[in-house]
Amino acid sequence: MRKLTSLSPSRTTLAGLQARQGASLALPSAGEPLNPTTRKGLSPAGIGEGKSHPGSRPGGGPNRPRVPVVDARGVPLMPCTPVRARLLLKRGKAVARWNKLGIFYIKLKYPVEPKNQMSAVGVDPGSKFEAESVVGTKDTVLNIMHEAVDWVKEALEQRRQMRRARRYRKTRYRKCKRNRKRKEGWIPPSTKARWDAKLRIIAQLKKIIPISHAVVENVSAESKKGSKRWNSNFSPVEVGKQYFYSQLRTMGFEVVVKNSYETKKFRDGLGLRKIKNKSKPVFESQCVDSWCLAAMVTGVKYPSTKSLYYMVPLRWHRRQLHRLQFEKGGVRKRYGGTMSLGLKRGTLVRHVRYGLCYIGGFQDDGFSLHSLRSGERLTQGAKREDFKVLTRIAFRTQFLSMTRVRSLFGYF
């Protein structure tokens, strides 16, 4: 699942949008993963998707997600239809934008007094894959499926071993700190990283969508008999979810917690199905539960769209003293860091040859550019004058319309 290149919509372009107005942010070229439009319009899921899936809307109907809208001050408004978004852009009353998740929205050129209805974000935590869905009182705004952050524990273990090994060599090292006591409310770094990834996604969604409720599926954790240290924290899962709930309340959400059996009962009552293959990038693998969680609060009875955004979090190797293995001549070179020749890694750029890509490192006086689809390196010798800096991203995002998923997998 780290290479999802074939799942990106191949028939996508922003030529029509570029002809209508000049957006100041990134305008992805044809076939690039940040591009959420189709040849038939501006809809992030494509107006040309045709009929929705059986069960999406009673009697069938258009499979159209909503387009997020903010006014000139950046205040989020109720999402509009793709048709209305297209008209606003055509008449010059709005400009196209993409947030740091790669989600398309429009920004009006004038302030508007918000008259927002209730919207909720459903959060379905998982061990390898997780999902969020934003649902209003009538329509589904968007669905997100993303890979979980699962590399922190191994990275910390490797750092610990490197520090211990340096203490027995004639080199710089950090002296061992003994008798350190953990603060009250301490959360394991690997657990905190998982929940923080979801918080970052929700924070970005809140900037463009007026979300008032956060509905989270409860994850249970068992205590261990006779294990004092484990039971004092009541497992990392229990500590992590309490941290997640408190952070959501700090962000201004009304938090609602649902159990898994409640989600299943609601899902079965609507006739929605859930598949066992959790890694398949379709609505029925992960997003069906996140949608049901939000729908239980807003009251909708069908998903108006089953298209989804598939996201992979970018991983950066923090600065190390040197590499693990010797280079030629017995030299250990420095490794890692988050800056590349004065630019932050993860900066989205438009290169004259490679189009949209992001900075992942550098070599000598050249930048290392990586593909937005697969994360693979495109070049190590890019010059500063050969690309334009656009914005920063934290995820590699691909939009998967259900028409495209059906043709690739033959699933439905």
Query: Which of 134-143, 192-201, 305-314, 393-402 has the least mean pLDDT?
Result: 393-402
* Mean pLDDT estimate for the chain: 80
Query: Which of 20-34, 114-128, 264-278, 333-347 has the least mean pLDDT?
Result: 20-34
pLDDT at 196 over 50: yes
The percentage of residues in the chain with a pLDDT greater than 90, rounded to a whole number, is 48
Work out the average pLDDT over 266-285. 92
Work out the average pLDDT over 148-156. 91
Q: How confident is the model at residue 148 (pLDDT cuts 50, 70, 90)?
A: very high
Model pLDDT for residues 98-111, shown as the tens digit of each residue:
888 888 899 999 99
Q: How confident is the model at residue 297 (pLDDT cuts 50, 70, 90)?
A: very high
Model pLDDT for residues 33-53, shown as the tens digit of each residue:
443 433 333 333 332 233 333
Nearest in space to 77 (alpha carbons), one of 67, 91, 87: 67
Angstrom distance (rounded) from CA 303 to CA 89: 27
pLDDT at 6 over 60: no
Model pLDDT for residues 181-195, shown as the tens digit of each residue:
777 778 889 999 999
Higher pLDDT, 66 or 332: 66
| Tokens 């750092």, located at residue | 159
Q: What is the pLDDT of residue 79?
A: 94
> Domain boundaries in the chain?
5-151+186-314+394-409, 315-392
Q: What is the pLDDT of residue 28?
A: 37
Cβ proximity of 280 and 409 under 8 Å: yes
Q: At what angle do helices 152-166 and 189-208 cross, to 10 degrees?
A: 130
Rg of the chain on CA atoms, in Å: 23
Task: Round to the nearest angstrom and report the end-to-end CA distance of the chain.
Answer: 21
Q: What is the pLDDT of residue 92?
A: 95
Query: Which of 315-319, 357-361, 372-376 has the least mean pLDDT?
Result: 315-319
Report DSSP letters for 24-76, one per residue: SS----TT-TT---BTTBS-TT-GGG-B--TTTSTT--B--PPEEEE-TT--E
Model pLDDT for residues 200-243, shown as the tens digit of each residue:
999 999 999 999 999 999 987 777 777 766 666 567 788 889 99
Taking domain 5-151+186-314+394-409, whether its CATH number is 3.40.50.10420 is answered by no
**Residue 249: how many other CB atoms lie within 10 Å:** 12
Specify the pTM. Answer: 0.78
